[in-house]
A = this chain, B = another copy of it.
């Protein structure tokens, strides 16, 4: 279930999965894991060799990842991992601030027991990981939490957009989680949002969600701009 949320292309029953979607998943994973860093060139040859396949499916995977915003490529020059500039980070979170409350408003009243169980399980692992400092996992859980909240919104296009936003901002959200008490605060707010949903206090859940995203944005922007990391988002034309 978590897998399905995190890897957008894993909808097929695995038997009929194609090599290029597998390649896309692998590359996406490398980017999340930091094995491929922002602005770093992605060599088709090397990836093909690593995955034991030819370059053809790699190329198709890169087209898909570019559409997801994880990769930027220029003709005859190749693809690089797409970092987000501070401005782009801000825009991403503003979009989330706009779209996610809309989704929660529709989804919250329809959440099933299974959904709440899923959410509880995510939050539980989240709390457990508090001391492991497994940063990647934090980001994954954060993304999965939000995506699960909106599972019943019944707005596939919007959900896809939000999933894409969550994916492309994931690496930066982790920054915010690591510094300050971001993780603790997120833990508390996440739990409270679920509580509100359970109790039927949907408006309060929605308001808190909006405030939650807004707060993460503010903290993250302060960190990103003050800590003068102008190299983020480099490698652009």
| Chain A contact residues, CB within 8 Å of chain B | 12, 16-18, 20-21, 56, 59-60, 63-64, 67-69, 74-76, 88, 91-92, 95, 98-99, 102, 155-158, 161
CB-based contact B18/A75 at 8 Å? yes
Interface majority SS (helix, strand, loop, mixed), chain A: helix
Tell me, in angstroms, the Cα distance from A64 to B71 when the chains sit together: 13
Chain B nearest Cβ from A210, distance in angstroms:
14
For A21, give the chain B residue with the smallest CB separation: B75
CB-based contact B63/A158 at 8 Å? no
Chain B nearest Cβ from A90, distance in angstroms:
9
Residues on B with C-beta less than 8 A from A161 are: 95, 161
The 8 Å CB contact of A98, one of B20, B67, B98, is B98
Chain B nearest Cβ from A66, distance in angstroms:
8
Chain B nearest Cβ from A85, distance in angstroms:
10
Take A60-B63, A64-B67 as given contacts and tell me if A157 and B16 are in contact as well, using a CB distance cutoff of 8 Å.
no
